[in-house]
Amino acid sequence: MIPADTIVRTTCPYCGVGCQLDLHVHQGVIFRVAAPFDAPPNYGRLCVKGRFGLDFVHHPSRLTVPLIRKEFGKVPRRPVGLDGFREATWDEALDLAAEKLAAIVREHGGDALGTFCSAKATNEDNYLFQKFVRAVLGTNNVDHCARLCHASSVAGLSRTIGSAAMSNSIAEIPHLDVFIVTGSNTTETHPVISTFMRQAIVHNGARLIVVDPRATEMTQFATLWLRQKPGTDVAVFSAMAHVIVKEGLYNEAFIRERTADFEAYAASLDPFTPEWAEEVSGVPADDIRTAARMYASAKAGAIYWGMGITQHSHGTDNVIALSNLALLTGHIGRPHTGLNPLRGQNNVQGCSDSGGLPNVFPGYQRVDDPAIRAKFERAWGVRLNPEVGLTTMEMVEAAERGEIRGYYIMGENPMMSEPNLRHARHVMEQMEFVLVQDIFLNETGAYADIILPATSFAEKDGTFTNTDRRVQRIRKAVPPPGQARADWDIIQELARRVEEKLGRATSAGFDFQHPAEIWAEMAALTPAFQGISYERLEREGGVHWPCPSPDHPGTPYLFADGFPKGRGRFISLQFLPPAEWPDENYPFILSTGRVLYHWHGGTLSRRSRLEDIYPEPTVEIHPDDAERLGIRSGDYVRVRSRRGEIKVRVHVSTRSPRGTVFIPFHFAEAAANELTNDVLDPHAKIPEYKVCAVAVEKWE
């Protein structure tokens, strides 16, 4: 029982900072949100989303009963609203879902299913989801939105140092010396982290280098702002490395003791002169030299980046270029240094940690490693598929070829997040079966055959893992609406039914009574988590993994004694332009991103009071471009690409450079991903959201 009046400590469900919240509850309603001043990582700080955006929990459009499409199984399927579904009992919905999943497995094999776990769900939810997919459905086709945001970070850092998590902690930020922020509008995407960055600059004299085409607020605090042309990141960072090598500013001892392939890499930098980079990127050569000297000569240098680095057809190369800089200077493996990708969603780090990827079990243990696979087979009592599964975009391609017949989607909204949405909708329309599990009917749920109502973060127990690898608790504060159930509870009910319909004894283990039991099983199988328990989290509030034993203090910063690969590896790069560049028909570059008042596909924030503050999308365009097109702020324009078009209101601003327009991706009525290019990075399989060619025309 939850007391009628209580204060519940939990973790914010928005971005990856993982702010600690105190939910003030009266008679089952959250009426106030505060932040405890003594609790990391936020120490009393909250952004507008965390303080005022949690009323989505009580929104009247919450899903409260299982729903079955009235035209169940009809193909091609069309998107429908709530009136296109009928209410069902849990038994009916689960039995029907289990029968459809089992039928696809029987007739086509488990690899005919594509599944999406959730960066918004708990570690325990995601662990149980991937266990169900692997142990019951028999496939490794499981992925989530990390594929669409930081897959390039994973691919790049895995190749250079062997680990893709944020290397250093949020607690170190106020004490930075020199740091680079690139491809991150930190003030709007990770607002609390940005306050610590500004504290480091204003109060402690830190020097900031911003590398970004757009005039984000962080540029106002920068010692140096390198405003490169979109898609030219490798040119700028490789030119900085050129300066560091040619001027002998590199850390010779660190390179000798902890890295490999330096000589070949140093030789490869000869063409990357600052003058060449200026011609390619538009950044003055002298500014590139100044930035290189500033970072290399720092006592401690740190790099932070977001999706402006990763969401490119050569995003992996962008990340490798940053890693090369850190290895050159030895700015890694110490406090206040490191390679720090800023994770976007509240539990995108934890979802990956928990095995929500097609190539790894929990803790990044390879599914194609026979010894690792044998360990999970013994624990789960089943034989497991040895083949690496498909990524998000590969599942779309396989579905188009008819190789994937059904989707199971938990808490994701691919019909907003995938690029080239016209193509994504076509694929969804042809799907044989779609099962969706969520708290609202969103753009993806509109295509579902069955919808299972889940609970929000405030209505269940579990853990989230924030961007700096800190595992923290969430706690049930209010009762669930109607018949909604926790994701982990739904998954194990479904798993038992599928096993029964496949004629198997229930062997893999889906009889948990509390998320603590799920965490304990995952931790026992995952070396980095073995020192973390619910009891310890209650005592300490949060623990950074890796934490291999109960007496281990946790690891706020990584690589003090070495890299997972042994030595950090330098990788030589070539500069390659974006896949699509402006031309006469599509003369502008489109970039997409977030705004302060909304979050990702808008499923949560647009059902909060924040919608009143920022109720519609805009296209940001430079005044010179606006004058040439004869448009002003408030006008409507048509923005079109080779893939689609949208109608959107104009916001004239110098934040975007001439020739570039910016559209936030939160708004279904003018979805930026109608326009974006679905060409993929060859290593990370991430789409190029940040650069595509568009035309802008006044709406007549």
Q: Are residues 178 and 244 in the same domain?
A: yes
Residue 195 confidence (pLDDT): 97
pLDDT at 602 over 90: no
Please say whether the beta carbons of 483 and 453 come within 8 A.
yes
Would you state the structure tokens that stand for residue 691, as one six-digit string? 């650069």
Residues 6+ apart with CB under 8 A from 493: 90, 94, 485
pLDDT at 600 over 90: no
pLDDT at 122 over 70: yes
* CATH assignment at residue 692: 2.40.40.20
Write out the H or E segment, with its range, that includes residue 288: helix 285-296
Q: Cα(first)–Cα(last) distance of the chain, in Å? A: 59
pLDDT at 3 over 80: no
**Can you tell me whether residue 131 is helix, strand or coil?**
helix
Would you state the structure tokens that stand for residue 430, as one six-digit string? 């042809």
Q: Residue 654: which of 675, 615, 627, 688 has the closest Cα?
A: 627
Whole-angstrom distance, CA of residue 23 vs CA of residue 7: 5
Residue 700 confidence (pLDDT): 80
Residue 422 confidence (pLDDT): 86
Residue 518 confidence (pLDDT): 98
Count of domains forming the chain? 4
What's the pLDDT tens digit per position in 462-515?
999 999 999 999 999 999 999 999 999 999 999 999 999 998 866 678 999 999
What's the pLDDT tens digit per position in 510-529?
999 999 999 999 999 999 99
| Angle CA 19–22–27, to nearest 5 | 140
Q: Are residues 335 and 227 in the same domain?
A: yes
pLDDT at 456 over 90: yes
Q: Residue 462: which of 433, 488, 431 has the closest Cα?
A: 488
Would you state the structure tokens that stand for residue 407, as one six-digit string? 């989707």
Helices (H) and strands (E) in the chain, counts: 23, 30
Summarize the confidence of residues 102-118 as an average pLDDT.
Answer: 97
Q: In the chain, how long is the greatest CA-to-CA distance?
A: 71
* CATH assignment at residue 172: 3.40.228.10
Indicate the residue among 29, 58, 87 that finishes a domain.
58
Residue 420 confidence (pLDDT): 84
Q: What are phi and psi of 663, to 5 degrees?
A: -130, 125
- Tokens 């042309």 — which residue? 229
What's the pLDDT tens digit per position in 395-428?
999 999 999 999 999 999 988 888 888 888 999 9
Could you tell me what percentage of the chain is helix, strand and coil, using 3-state DSSP and rounding each to the nearest 5? 35, 20, 45
Please say whether the beta carbons of 259 and 228 come within 8 A.
no
Would you state the structure tokens that stand for residue 374, as one six-digit string? 């044998």
Q: Are residues 206 and 310 in the same domain?
A: yes
Residue 1 confidence (pLDDT): 60
Q: Are residues 402 and 451 in the same domain?
A: yes
Whole-angstrom distance, CA of residue 20 vs CA of residue 41: 7
Residue 506 confidence (pLDDT): 61
Choose the weakest-confidence range: 127-141, 443-457, 667-681.
667-681
Instruction: Please indicate, yes or no, if residue 552 is contained in any of the structural domains.
Output: no
Q: Are residues 287 and 400 in the same domain?
A: no
Residue 507 confidence (pLDDT): 63
pLDDT at 2 over 70: no
Q: Give percent of the chain above pLDDT 90.
A: 91
* CATH assignment at residue 401: 3.40.50.740
Would you state the structure tokens that stand for residue 570, as one six-digit string? 């330098």
Whole-angstrom distance, CA of residue 454 vs CA of residue 360: 26
Write out the H or E segment, with its range, that includes residue 650: strand 645-652
Q: Are residues 73 and 171 in the same domain?
A: no
Average pLDDT, the chain: 95
Instruction: Please indicate, yes or no, if residue 304 is contained in any of the structural domains.
Output: yes
- Tokens 């706690």 — which residue? 475
Instruction: Please indicate, yes or no, if residue 602 is contained in any of the structural domains.
Output: yes
Q: Which residue(s) pair with 693 in the sheet? A: 589
Residue 424 confidence (pLDDT): 87
What's the pLDDT tens digit per position in 667-690?
989 999 899 999 999 998 899 999
Please say whether the beta carbons of 567 and 258 come within 8 A.
yes
Q: Residue 175: which of 201, 200, 209 has the closest Cα?
A: 200
Write out the H or E segment, with its range, that includes residue 348: helix 348-353
- Identify the domain containing residue 413 by its residue range: 67-143+357-455+483-528
Q: Are residues 136 and 260 in the same domain?
A: no
- Tokens 């769900």 — which residue? 121
pLDDT at 216 over 90: yes
Q: What are phi and psi of 54, to 5 degrees?
A: -95, 0
Q: Are residues 133 and 156 in the same domain?
A: no
Instruction: Please indicate, yes or no, if residue 575 is contained in any of the structural domains.
Output: no
The radius of gyration of the chain's CA atoms, rounded to the nearest angstrom, is 24
Would you state the structure tokens that stand for residue 447, as one six-digit string? 């295509």
Prior bond to 76 cis, omega within 30?
Answer: yes
Q: Are residues 21 and 95 in the same domain?
A: no
Instruction: Please indicate, yes or no, if residue 464 is contained in any of the structural domains.
Output: no
Instruction: Please indicate, yes or no, if residue 608 is contained in any of the structural domains.
Output: yes
Please state whether beta strands 660-664 and 588-593 pair in parallel, antiparallel, or not at all (unpaired): parallel
What's the pLDDT tens digit per position in 27-52?
999 999 999 999 999 999 999 999 99
Q: Are residues 375 and 524 in the same domain?
A: yes
Residues 6+ apart with CB under 8 A from 10: 20, 21, 23, 457, 458, 473, 474, 475, 477
163 or 439: which leads in pLDDT: 439
Residue 366 confidence (pLDDT): 96
Prior bond to 564 cis, omega within 30?
Answer: no
Instruction: Please indicate, yes or no, if residue 466 is contained in any of the structural domains.
Output: no
Q: Residue 188: which of 218, 210, 151, 152 has the closest Cα?
A: 218
243 or 600: which leads in pLDDT: 243
Q: Are residues 299 and 385 in the same domain?
A: no
What's the one-letter identity of residue 189? T
Please say whether the beta carbons of 462 and 125 come within 8 A.
yes
- Tokens 């939850």 — which residue? 2
Instruction: Please indicate, yes or no, if residue 462 is contained in any of the structural domains.
Output: no
* CATH assignment at residue 31: 2.20.25.90
Q: Are residues 319 and 382 in the same domain?
A: no
pLDDT at 561 over 70: yes
Whole-angstrom distance, CA of residue 271 vs CA of residue 352: 37
Summarize the confidence of residues 628-652 as an average pLDDT.
Answer: 97
